[in-house]
Amino acid sequence: MTRSIDATCLWPARALLGEGPVWSPAQGAVLAVDIRGSRILRLSLADGARAEWPMEDAACWLVERADGDGFIAGLRSRRVVHLRLGEGAAEIVSDLLRLEEDKPGNRLNDAKADGAGRIWAGTMDDAESDATGSLYRIGPDGGVTRADTGYTVANGPALSPDGQTLYHTDSAARTIYAFDLAVDGALANRRVHIRFGEGDGYPDGMTCDAEGGLWVAHWDGGRVSRFLPDGTLDRTVRLPVSRVTSCAFAGPDLDRLVITTAAFERPDEPLAGGLFECVPGVTGLPPARFGLANRA
């Protein structure tokens, strides 16, 4: 029997497109991006302190650097940069690379680091109509490999606890794929892992827990679902908003699930765009960082 959990709102941030929650153990805070609102949000879990940074070129995702010097950020313009968050201002320290300069209609959308310090980042058609997006692997040395292609809305990379399976989504196709991930970063054996029905909305951001469960946000579905490694639905987190975008485990014990949402085209949902949390009953995996050969 599927277990149901209710989420509560931590911060009614009214993000137009809240995405990419990241737990920073060093800061004791959750960070997230508001892609359409062009800002970065930070919430301290210990005292609830809030901060935000406007971005001229919106950040689509953040990954902490292994050396502790800020973040690697993927920007809407398809730039991947070294970013520091200072007092009231976000500083782009340097550009690491640019992706898809031949595809001005595309943008970056979602990314995660793996245990080898690599970033897996997807691109998408900003108009959400053509399958021009791809999945890229960015090595700690800045080297880039196009690992897969043919995505309309590339979304939600997630890594299994043993690091041997990578999950990736094409939201427009309502499909989550699984890949075998080799030690050297090569992907193989792409297969359909979960396919959403029309009543489920669209699979969006996702994360794995320490038991191998896959937690998936439902865009236009008002919930987060946990699926067992075999794809069986195990439990559901209910939210009072429809556009649920992503989730991540947070807190010193990684026993809290924080959830981002979107207020875009949802004027009648007062808490849309808020940052939510629940106690999921399992613990997550420590967040990986760019440039580190093991998890933080």
Q: Which residues are part of the catalytic machinery? A: 204
Tokens of 27: 């800061």
Locus of tokens 């699984």: 178
Q: What is the largest CA-CA distance in the chain?
A: 50
Tokens of 188: 């193989």
Question: In Å, what is the CA distance from 136 to each residue of 19, 65, 118, 139?
Answer: 19, 18, 10, 10
Tokens of 117: 């310090």
Would you call 189 exposed, middle or buried from its count of C-beta atoms within 10 A (0-12, 13-18, 19+)?
A: exposed
Would you call 81 exposed, middle or buried from its count of C-beta atoms within 10 A (0-12, 13-18, 19+)?
A: buried
Q: Are strands 233-238 and 3-6 parallel, antiparallel or unpaired?
A: parallel
Residue 10 host element (H or E): strand 8-11
Tokens of 178: 């699984």
Task: Give the N- to C-terminal CA distance of the chain in Å, as an integer.
Answer: 35
Residue 138 host element (H or E): strand 133-138
Backbone angles phi, psi at 199, to 5 degrees: -75, -5
Cβ–Cβ < 8 Å for 41, 13: yes
